[in-house]
Amino acid sequence: MKSRFATCLNCIDGRVQMPVIDWITQNYDVDYVDMITETGMDEFLANENCDQYHVMRKLGISIGHHNSDSIFIVGHFDCVEKSAGEKTHKKQIRQAVERIKNYTLSCNVIGLWVSEDLQVQKICENKGPVFI
């Protein structure tokens, strides 16, 4: 059977790689997680002034070559990129999910938060496509 891939837009932070991969493969029907990283990925995607070309290019390759249709966007505690609190991070995760959803209408886009004890929490999910 063909391997199934998901795509994760995550922070560079080493603490949050394995917990996120484990959570995704345990909760979604995927075998592998393509990982695209940036410092403070949630803020990076939520901020319209950031040049997101290189991230979008990699996302397009993951979707196009691995047929990924589930995209995860991760924010986490104690991020090096900024000292924003959990509430701000979660708002940015939601903004990032909407932004990526507009870019990849056929994909399921899911926002995740990783807490200090490395527990993964689903913040939101924007499913697609919806056929009426």
Residues at the interface with Zn ion (CB under 5 A): 11, 13, 79
Q: Decide whether 82 or 122 has the Cβ nearer to Zn ion.
A: 82
Q: Decide whether 13 or 69 has the Cβ nearer to Zn ion.
A: 13
Compute the distance between CA of residue 47 and CA of residue 86 in angstroms, rounded to an integer. Answer: 17
Minimum distance, C-beta of residue 12 to Zn ion, in the bound complex (Å): 7
Sheet with 108-114, edge to edge strand ranges: 32-37, 5-10, 70-76, 108-114, 120-126
Asked if residues 104 and 3 have their Cβ atoms less than 8 Å apart, the reply is: no
Q: Decide whether 11 or 120 has the Cβ nearer to Zn ion.
A: 11
Minimum distance, C-beta of residue 6 to Zn ion, in the bound complex (Å): 20
